Amino acid sequence: MTQGPEIVNQTAVTEFFFSEFPNLEEGGLLFFFPLLLIYVFIITGNLVIFIVIQLDVALHTPMYFFISVLSFLEIWYTTTTIPKMLTNLVSVQKTISVAGCLLQMYFFHSLGISEGCLLTAMAIDRYVAICKPLHYPTIVTPRLCSQLTAGSCLCGFLLVLPEIVWISTLPFCGPNQIHQIFCDFTPVLNLACTDTSLIVIVDAIHAVEILASFLVIALSYIRIILVILRIPSVEGRHKAFSTCAAHIAVFLLFFGSVALMYLRFSATYSMFWDTAIAITFVVLAPFLNPIIYSLRNKDMKEAIKRFLCPQKWDNRAEG
């Protein structure tokens, strides 16, 4: 006789409620405008980098090709979470449908994994450029760049799919409060009214993937730094290091936030630190990436100036 109500309860939850967002009267607008400005900067900065690299012939090299792809992925990566966060800051109903939540998780993690794989490809590119410069043109060809990019995206969008499909089959019967600022695996699985112990295996697989990418990139850059230190001239060392300094900064920022978010194992954080780490992962890292790749790169800065002020550069060329 109790089966009927249980079935009803298990199918009752059709949307989730984000409990970590302040209401308007609690200062929601104080967070809304800074986040909106950051989002506009992320989209504009990455879009400018992508367009400039596509249009400027001087930047048609493997390194800048990978940077353009990374900027393109960053645009969509932030779009999966920040617009919904902005809506939740100013709306009374801070909800998301179950289907919308699953889609957000899928695209957020797919794009994140794709970026991680792409950073691995970029580390390999810098390794070959600095450690095997004479063989670089024959090894890192446009075809290989396209294959590595396609492989990174394919890897990202296929690896998460089985997990999302499995979660979509789980019953959710309440409570429906997500204790996070976006839909993520652990907060959503905590709401399922069935055994989710299988997620431990899935988490272990993801942890191995993250650690494998981290080790490949770290070993590549360690090897690069050792080679740079053996360059006799100070100018040569500075020039070689400047070509990969931005990559190392993005690598540390990306995998540092990933490690805090997903490799905590048995460690538990307070709600404040959970939210702070999520903001670093979702907002801060994408915000700093355009700055790192544009302000610390002389060729990129000049290309952006030519793109924004073409007449000024044409006059210089004629003079």
The one-letter amino acid at 30: L
Q: Give the per-residue pLDDT at 1.
A: 39
Phi, psi of 258 (to 5 degrees): -60, -45
E strand or H helix that includes residue 96? strand 95-97
User: What distance in Å separates the CA atoms of residue 291 and residue 296, rounded to the nearest whole number?
Assistant: 8
Side-chain half-sphere of 59: how many Cα atoms within 13 Å?
25
Contacts of 79 (CB under 8 A, 6+ apart): 43
The DSSP code for 192 is B
Nearest to 19 by CA among 216, 275, 310: 275
Q: Give the per-residue pLDDT at 4.
A: 43
CA distances from 63 to 91, 111, 113, 193, 318 (A): 42, 20, 19, 48, 30
Number of other CB atoms surrounding residue 222 within 10 Å: 11
Q: Give the per-residue pLDDT at 189.
A: 87
Measured between its terminal Cα atoms, the distance across the chain in Å is: 90
Nearest to 242 by CA among 190, 300, 193: 300
Query: Three-state DSSP class for 184?
Result: coil
Q: Which CATH fold would you assign to the domain 15-309?
A: Rhopdopsin 7-helix transmembrane proteins (1.20.1070)
pLDDT average per 10 residues of sequence, the chain (319 residues):
43 83 77 94 94 93 94 96 94 91 96 92 90 92 96 93 90 87 89 79 77 88 88 80 81 84 65 80 88 79 83 56
CA dihedral 181, 182, 185, 190 (to 10 degrees): 50
How would you write 131-174 as a 3-class SS string?
HCHHHHHHHCCHHHHHHHHHHHHHHHHHHCHHHHHHHHCCCECC
E strand or H helix that includes residue 210? helix 199-229
Q: Give the per-residue pLDDT at 318.
A: 52
Distance of CA 148 to the CA centre of its chain: 17
Q: Give the per-residue pLDDT at 265.
A: 55
Q: Give the per-residue pLDDT at 64.
A: 93
